[in-house]
Structure 1
Amino acid sequence: ILVFLFCAGSPCMNVTYTHQSICALKGSTVDISCFYTHPSWHNVTEVSWFSKWETGVTNDLSQDPEYTDRVEYHRQTDKDSTLKITDLRERDSTEYKFRFKTVHAEWGYTFSGTTLSVTGLQVEMTPATVTEGQRVTLDCRTVCTLTDNPNPSYIWYKLGQRLTNQNNSLILNPVSSEDAGRYSCAVEGFEDLHSPEETLTSTLVSVSPSGDIVEGSSVTLTCSSDANPPVQSYAWYKNGSVYQSIFYGNTEPQQVFSQIKSSDTRQYYCWVSNGISTDRSPSLDIDVKCE
């Protein structure tokens, strides 16, 4: 609690802020409150809240276009004030101060107020580079600790659908291709405020043409992935070894056999990288038949 006093041979004028700092969730609503006192003969003529002190701007927030339809002033007594801000945005992170005027004085706007930090949710994946069969943990993070909910319960979603029976951390052990998809989280009680999605990519190898593969025919293997950001490089493997006929780290997703041979009968898979993480496709069996 911050208390600022002004005494000059008469009863004090003061402003008391309930919180020095507040951390709130992006998209939610926050209440910033204070109490103030003044001599009984000082009739209050105006109360207001401000921000943007670093620029010297002291316009009432209720008149600020950035806060249009998002701010309200509330009071329970004649000596308290609460600033309510709805639909919080990250740019709302700043210091807020209260001011009141009487017929004799103006007070409250020159000292520190309440600093608001607005945080979004982020999904953190461990390890950052995922290999099939590993233990993968997804954690929901905020930049600062939520003032009204310092130990929140999190809800997890896959492809926008709520997952059941999950703890605050989502554990995939072992992770498989069936776990591929887009994951997001939300704080319980604020289910409509999702984090950005974190994608576990689904990487597959397909063969064209489909059907029987005959020796001497043209066959194309294609490595596809829904990685976000998009894949930057591909690496092909044949029976567990790097396939030397393909440049390792190729930027093209295809391997073309212009005249496939019976010796090309093997298992093939690809690794992809988007510069952030890597992923491996399941193996694809190629059986080349003789004419």
Structure 2
Amino acid sequence: MFCLFSLFSLFVSQGFCNLELGVIYTNTVICAIKGSTVHLSGTYKNLRNYKTVIFWTVNPVNITDDIKLLGNPDYKGRIQDLLNGKTHTLTLSDVKHEDEGKYCLRVMTHVEILDLQPCAGIELRVTDLRVETPEEVVEGESPVLTCKSSCNLSSTNFSWYRNGESFPESERQNQLILKSVNRGDAGSYSCAVRDPKHLPSPALTLNIRYPPKSVSVSVSGSAVIVSGDSVTLSCSSDSNPPAVDFSWFKENQSSVVGSGQSFSISSFNSSHSGRYYCEAENKYGSQRSESVSVTVEESSSSWVLITAGITASVFVMFVILMVFMLIRRKRVTPSEEQNHRGSCKTVESPEDPYMTLDPKSRCSEYDTLDIMKRSSENTESPEGQDPIYHNISK
């Protein structure tokens, strides 16, 4: 009875009966990544060389209810039982979450009482890899990315990927430290355990938060605006999260002239001309744009009026100048007129020097005499004429 009691009281913690028959398992718990291949090994001892039947089963209940895995349709094409001496190795590929459970190497003999029950077995746990990051990563920080699983993996060799491209081979830990990140470090990150199938985790997007950058202003249409037009200025920026506060300024003015991503001016005129810029802001900071010059240009009809006004002014000035010259010409004295005629010319005539004088060539003295002569001719008394000409003949 003592021996029978001993056979029933198996040393479960080590998976075998210390007397004659038992099984030793290499591991009692194995953590496998979904989609990977696992190897479960158990070695049995049979001191009396009983005739045995050995097979693998999962979640054993009792001898009669145990199902051989090699005949289970759920494992078809995914399972192999390899024998090396007294060591049985169960190879299970394309592991699924449904494969989780206790795997037992069952040893049955022709002596029913020696059948191993209960079975210690190997507990198989199936996990997914996942990347964990801080909830919020701001530009300039050094976040730590961790490759995690729901159970402890036996492998300690990890690989890291960003947007499908691997990091240097030196990064083999389950943690990846990104130093002083910027927006260029944003992307999809995944990790993998070095396995023949090299199964990566689902990619996780790393979102880098940063204040507005590359802030710029655009003007609807041309920057040269015709008076009376409506003008709209738009402010754009690169930021994460997107900027929500926009302020508009005009150079040489201290106060804000507008708000919102778009700033409109209706009936634009010369008083609105100037240089404008915007400032974009989110919770991480702000940045202002370069100034944009917006000027007003007179319409073509205005230029026509201006040209007509200038032409009319020139014409009026010309008329005034002509009138002035005519008035001045009428006010010229005989002496001034004589100065314009030129110098005096002497005409010689042997017969009658007084009768041969050319009025256009005589000097001022002759003009005076001619005037006196005409005056005497108009008088009634002819006697007054002789003394004058007598004096001249001398």
When normalised by structure 1's length, the TM-score is 0.69
Pick the aligned partner of 2:201 from 195, 201, 210. 195
Pick the aligned partner of 1:265 from 277, 296, 301. 277
Q: Which 4+ runs in 1 deviate beyond 4 A?
A: 53-57, 202-207, 220-225, 260-264, 280-284, 286-289
Q: Structure 1 residues 21 and 122, CA, compared in 2 at 3 Å: closer, same or farther?
A: same
Deviates more, 1:94-103 or 1:177-186: 94-103
**Which residue number in structure 1 is paired with residue 191 of structure 2?**
185
Pick the aligned partner of 2:93 from 77, 86, 98. 86
User: How far 1:268 moved relative to its partner?
Assistant: 1.7
**Which residue number in structure 1 is paired with residue 83 of structure 2?**
75
Q: Structure 1 residues 286 and 65, CA, compared in 2 at 3 Å: closer, same or farther?
A: farther
Decide whether the 8 Å contact of 1:96 with 1:114 is kept in 2: yes
**Which residue number in structure 2 is paired with residue 97 of structure 1?**
104
User: How far 1:92 moved relative to its partner?
Assistant: 2.2
Decide whether the 8 Å contact of 2:246 with 2:261 is kept in 1: no
1:25 lines up with 2:40 in the alignment: no
**Which residue number in structure 2 is paired with residue 117 of structure 1?**
125
Letter matched to residue 95 of structure 1: K
Q: Deviations over 1:226-282 (max 9, x none)?
A: xxxxxxx9662447xxxxx99xxxxxxxx75362798983232556xxxxxxxx799
CA RMSD of aligned residues (A): 4.0
SS at match of 1:290: strand
1:285 lines up with 2:289 in the alignment: yes
**Which residue number in structure 1 is paired with residue 162 of structure 2?**
158
Q: Deviations over 1:26-76 (max 9, x none)?
A: 3322211112233646322x3221224479963222222322211111111
Letter matched to residue 23 of structure 1: C
Q: Structure 1 residues 165 and 104, CA, compared in 2 at 3 Å: closer, same or farther?
A: closer
Q: Structure 1 residues 27 and 101, CA, compared in 2 at 3 Å: closer, same or farther?
A: same
**Whole-angstrom CA distance in 1 between matches of 2:186 and 2:137:** 11
Letter matched to residue 128 of structure 1: E
Higher helix share: 2
Decide whether the 8 Å contact of 1:30 with 1:85 is kept in 2: yes
Q: Give the share of equivalent positions with the same residue, in percent.
A: 26
Structure number with greater Rg is 2
Structure showing greater relative contact order (alpha-carbon pairs closer than 8 Å, 6 or more residues apart):
1
1:133 lines up with 2:140 in the alignment: yes
Decide whether the 8 Å contact of 2:15 with 2:119 is kept in 1: no
Q: Structure 1 residues 165 and 283, CA, compared in 2 at 3 Å: closer, same or farther?
A: farther
Decide whether the 8 Å contact of 1:98 with 1:108 is kept in 2: no
Aligned pairs, how many? 252
**Whole-angstrom CA distance in 2 between matches of 1:234 and 1:109:** 66
**Whole-angstrom CA distance in 1 between matches of 2:163 and 2:132:** 17
Decide whether the 8 Å contact of 2:217 with 2:278 is kept in 1: no
**Whole-angstrom CA distance in 2 between matches of 1:88 and 1:110:** 26
Q: Structure 1 residues 222 and 177, CA, compared in 2 at 3 Å: closer, same or farther?
A: closer
**Whole-angstrom CA distance in 2 between matches of 1:54 and 1:124:** 39
User: How far 1:203 moved relative to its partner?
Assistant: 7.3
Higher strand share: 1
1:144 lines up with 2:151 in the alignment: yes
Which sections of structure 2, spanning at least 5 residues, go unmatched?
1-12, 224-229, 248-257, 266-271, 296-394
**Whole-angstrom CA distance in 1 between matches of 2:237 and 2:75:** 51
Which sections of structure 1, spanning at least 5 residues, go unmatched?
226-232, 240-244, 247-254, 272-279
Q: Structure 1 residues 282 and 177, CA, compared in 2 at 3 Å: closer, same or farther?
A: farther
**Which residue number in structure 2 is paired with residue 216 of structure 1?**
231
Q: Structure 1 residues 263 and 104, CA, compared in 2 at 3 Å: closer, same or farther?
A: farther
Q: Structure 1 residues 188 and 31, CA, compared in 2 at 3 Å: closer, same or farther?
A: closer
**Whole-angstrom CA distance in 1 between matches of 2:162 and 2:231:** 44
